[in-house]
Amino acid sequence: MSIATQDDQAPTGSGQSDEPMLTYVPARAWGTRAAAVLLSLAVVYFLVSIGGNANFGWSVVGEYLFDARILSGLYLTIWLTIVTMVIGVVLGTIFAVMAMSRNIVISTVADAYIWFFRGTPVLVQLIFWYNLGALFPELSIGIPFTSWGMSVPTNTLISPITAAVLGLGLNEGAYMSEIIRSGLLSVDPGQRQAATSLGMTSRKALWRIVLPQAMPVIIPPTGNQTIGMLKTSSLVSVISLSDLLYSAQTIYSRNFQTIPLLIVACLWYLLATTILSWVQNRIERHFARSRNAST
């Protein structure tokens, strides 16, 4: 509108000089184009040399890609990833809130938890939980220092799968609590104050006001953690659980087709990672809507 008005007042040709108007030609960036061409050639060469190499055993890959053992290993890997991440997020939220508590005992306990579980190898933690029975032959529920309660042998309670869930979940909780804490700290304290002054309890203010706004900070590293967990979960082979990688190993220890079976495992890991990245992307977009909305 305003441009048209200006044009009306200043008809064409009344500019500063009589020279014709310039036509702009964008820079061609020859260097970038050359690099792109070279890169394409390299990629094609790479793919051809892998695909055409009989030593990779592509027919074996095809043969085992949908093998029942591989699929059940894949199922366990995905199941472990989901369950331990859910535990990690729940524990992480609890410990993040505890770590920010003004009560010194509560925040110290949370800090100690984070310190311990981040400070020790998760492999050791898994073995520890698996061997809990050696340390505490019986586990009991009851009131401490009284005779009231019941107890069961530890080994009936801690199966390999329980040990895996405990080990990976508790470890993940420590990492997630740091991620969630930094998310909570990224939200302006004024938000919590406004919520409180409107009559929200601190719990309601956390759930409805602070956490949703912490999400854009929390989600990307959580996506990273989930993808990391997909592969970290392969550590459970040390407590004789048959996850995806361990299933592949079991098979190639018999038929010696090491590389093809590792490729099978990697193809499934890649597929799972791709799906997870896509899900992460959708969640990020959902929580970013108040930032990008253009009404």
In whole angstroms, how close is the CB of 105 to another protein at the nearest point? 19
From 57-65, 171-179, 204-212, 263-271, give the range in contact with another protein by CB under 8 A: 204-212
Distance, CA of 121 to CA of 125 (rounded, Å): 7
Distance, CA of 290 to CA of 255 (rounded, Å): 55
Distances (CA, A) of 287 to 166, 173, 219: 30, 22, 9
Instruction: Judge contact between 160 and 239, C-beta under 8 A.
Output: yes
In whole angstroms, how close is the CB of 94 to another protein at the nearest point? 18
Nearer CB in complex with another protein: 166/209:
209
Nearer CB in complex with another protein: 135/293:
293
In whole angstroms, how close is the CB of 88 to another protein at the nearest point? 24
DSSP 293: -
Instruction: Judge contact between 177 and 110, C-beta under 8 A.
Output: yes
Q: Is 92 exposed, middle or buried (0-12, 13-18, 19+ CB in 10 A)?
A: buried
Distance, CA of 53 to CA of 72 (rounded, Å): 29
Nearer CB in complex with another protein: 193/274:
193
DSSP 242: -
Other beta carbons within 10 angstroms of residue 119's beta carbon come to 8
290 counts as binding another protein under rule CB under 8 A: yes
Sites for another protein among residues 208-237 (CB under 8 A): 208-209, 212-213
Other beta carbons within 10 angstroms of residue 174's beta carbon come to 22
In whole angstroms, how close is the CB of 209 to another protein at the nearest point? 6
Sites for another protein among residues 141-200 (CB under 8 A): 188, 190-191, 193-200
Nearer CB in complex with another protein: 33/204:
204
293 counts as binding another protein under rule CB under 8 A: yes
In whole angstroms, how close is the CB of 293 to another protein at the nearest point? 6
Q: What 3-state DSSP class applies to 151?
A: strand
Nearer CB in complex with another protein: 210/241:
210
286 counts as binding another protein under rule CB under 8 A: no
List residues near another protein by CB under 8 A: 188, 190-191, 193-202, 204, 208-209, 212-213, 287, 290-291, 293-295
